[in-house]
Chain A
């Protein structure tokens, strides 16, 4: 199949947009895995909840789109906080118990969304930003393009918090050595609460941005959680930079193979890539080898 230059550019742009969404889906999962050594199987449902928040506030109540996105981040951040308090505190130190409990929660949230808004037709969210931008000769819809700078700002903010602020450094300290962090006067449970709130906010943002691009359904978390886990494993489990890096690699592999073949093969290529990288580098792309 011959690719015209406009198709090449279209593919690159699609990969960058998808990579941005994948990053937002994965950073929270990776942060929590680092800080708490817990895996949240309901992470995909946090993305789904973010999409429904935009549907309710923007599409139904007419709140301006940017405000609806912010509301989604705050609300889903609070849900993350609640998940920590109700599941991860009681199952502290038990990865499998936390994983199973959040797996149960993911079904509950799917059914809840279905009861509230229906299982059938995907919800229609009108496009907030009409028209298309001309990117080197390829037409790209604004509502897709907007994902890239918003993600850049969100990831920049996350980086700033983790690298420069006292609270962010305490999260990194807990991720690197929980006991040693506690010995410095850092409360690991408080760090966990912050990590889950940030995970919720970033997942909520991913869902909010997806709401205008993809169908909003109770089941949209399935794909999100699969992608998030693949990305986090690829990136080296608890490395946030690794997750971002892996998100763009996976998105590129997915977009190119979907363009050349189709999207089912795209997903297979993504998972195949994960298996290949894990054989070559069991600690993931940027993970540190177990010592």
Chain B
């Protein structure tokens, strides 16, 4: 599905992502974990075209990816759920979902997909006419996920879906991601909440200062003493 090799990304002259390589197979959930400022968000932004990479290669669905802008990557089937949810604050829930299906011109198909998303998120159905900016953080995260699903993407990039949410809401979001995984979706999950991410994912990469420092099956990394100490808060 996705191969990233020797990815380098700079802000001005500062290297934020250095020689980062990872891959994601069809139907797999891969997590990138790491501390604040490790370069996780920057990596996802380079994948979805929001930030131009300096060097390195990206292969998506067997196709080498040049330097397309974000709207082109979205059209290729990559849906990026950005850090901080970024719903359209002054649009209704329904309009937000419609924007997710912007490329789909058949309003009948858009309508069908909206109904599917409402099955995943009954809460969004209840609040379909509410202005997105007035919803709670958890609801906005559900909307952001639902909006991304509207394009029927082949790959979902999720940047810290649990950020700033209360523990019960976090658990709800985690259940949704697990359900998405069971339905066969391919996901790259970026998280600071390493415990949650390692529970959900098949494989994991630990990112430190823009480089991969460890990689392996999620269960193995969760048992690794170094990971336990640094990311799971276990002495």
Interface residues of A (CB under 8 A from B): 166, 169-170, 172-173, 176-177, 179-188, 288
Q: In the complex, which residues of chain B have a beta carbon less than 8 angstroms from the beta carbon of A177?
A: 86, 88-89
Chosen A-B contacts, 6 in total, with CB atoms closer than 8 Å, are: A176-B90, A179-B82, A182-B49, A182-B71, A183-B86, A184-B74
Asked if residues A186 and B71 are in contact (CB atoms below 8 Å), the reply is yes
Specify the chain B residue showing the minimal Cβ separation from A176: B88
Cα of A166 to Cα of B99 in the assembled complex, Å: 8
Cα of A77 to Cα of B86 in the assembled complex, Å: 32
Cα of A236 to Cα of B82 in the assembled complex, Å: 27
Interface residues of B (CB under 8 A from A): 48-50, 69-71, 74-75, 79-80, 82, 86-91, 95, 98-100, 102-103, 105, 147, 151
Contact of B70 among A169, A170, A183 (CB under 8 A): A183
User: Binding site of A, secondary structure by majority: helix, strand, loop or mixed?
Assistant: helix
Specify the chain B residue showing the minimal Cβ separation from A183: B80
Q: In the complex, which residues of chain A have a beta carbon less than 8 angstroms from the beta carbon of B103?
A: 185
Asked if residues B91 and A182 are in contact (CB atoms below 8 Å), the reply is no
Other A-B pairs, 14, CB within 8 Å; known A166-B98, A183-B79:
A169-B91, A169-B98, A177-B86, A177-B89, A183-B48, A183-B70, A183-B82, A183-B86, A184-B147, A184-B151, A185-B71, A185-B102, A186-B102, A187-B71
Asked if residues B100 and A172 are in contact (CB atoms below 8 Å), the reply is no
Contact of A179 among B50, B95, B99, B100 (CB under 8 A): B50
Asked if residues A182 and B90 are in contact (CB atoms below 8 Å), the reply is no
Specify the chain A residue showing the minimal Cβ separation from B51: A179
Cα of A170 to Cα of B74 in the assembled complex, Å: 15
Minimum distance in angstroms from A189 CB to a CB of chain B: 8
Contact of B91 among A176, A187, A188 (CB under 8 A): A176
Q: Please list the 8 inter-chain residue pairs (A to B) with the smallest Cβ-Cβ separation, ordered nearest first.
A: A182-B70, A185-B74, A180-B86, A185-B103, A176-B88, A187-B71, A182-B71, A184-B102
Specify the chain A residue showing the minimal Cβ separation from B150: A184
